[in-house]
Amino acid sequence: MSKVLRQKTILAVLEQRPATTQEQLQRALAKRGIRVGQATLSRDIRDLGLVKSSRGYGVQMEASADPGLPPAPRLVREFVQGVRAAQNLLVLRTAVGSAQPVAAALDEEAWPGTIGTIAGDDTVLIICTDSKSARKLAATIRRMQA
């Protein structure tokens, strides 16, 4: 199971019922067929920006519009396998099933010179205003991969 899908499942579990401990959250995930270690769960909790209150773990109120979406640099580093520019277009190859979250995170960045993205299962198409913008964005994405 991918990290993005696991984290979305964590959010879905917490929407149904709060978990006051990580062990409770682990058990709830296990009931959904997701076995996760304590260290991984702690990282997921941190990455998702969850906070623990008297009612249990939850999303901070100041969180972004899509609290389940990790930051673009992290998604690019973890899932983008290749970047190719063609005129004013960029084609990103991703791990299978990862194109849509990558595209959504890149859209949130709102880089100048980009018009929009289209995502399939393992490919993201980014449309830029011109070839110079495409080359500049390709360089930015390649730096994120490092």
- For residue 57, the tally of other CB atoms under 10 A from its CB is 20
Q: What is the pLDDT of residue 56?
A: 83
Q: What is the pLDDT of residue 55?
A: 81
Sorted by where each begins, the domain ranges of the chain are: 3-59, 72-145
- Residues 80 and 137: their CA atoms lie apart, in Å, by 14
- For residue 95, the tally of other CB atoms under 10 A from its CB is 15
Do strands 89-94 and 114-119 pair parallel, antiparallel, or not at all (unpaired)? Answer: unpaired
The residue whose two tokens read 């673009």 is: 72
Is 123 in contact with 93 (CB distance < 8 Å)? yes
Q: What is the pLDDT of residue 60?
A: 62
Architecture per CATH, 3-59: Orthogonal Bundle (1.10)
Q: Would the CA dihedral through 24, 25, 29, 30 be positive or negative?
A: negative
pLDDT digits (tens, 9 = 90+) for 2-41: 888 899 899 889 888 888 899 999 999 999 999 999 999 9
- The yes/no answer on whether domain 72-145 falls in CATH 3.30.1360.40 is yes
Cα 79 to Cα 28, 35, 98, 101: the distances in Å are 27, 21, 6, 10
Residues in the chain, pLDDT under 50: 62-65
Q: What is the pLDDT of residue 68?
A: 63
Q: What is the pLDDT of residue 65?
A: 45
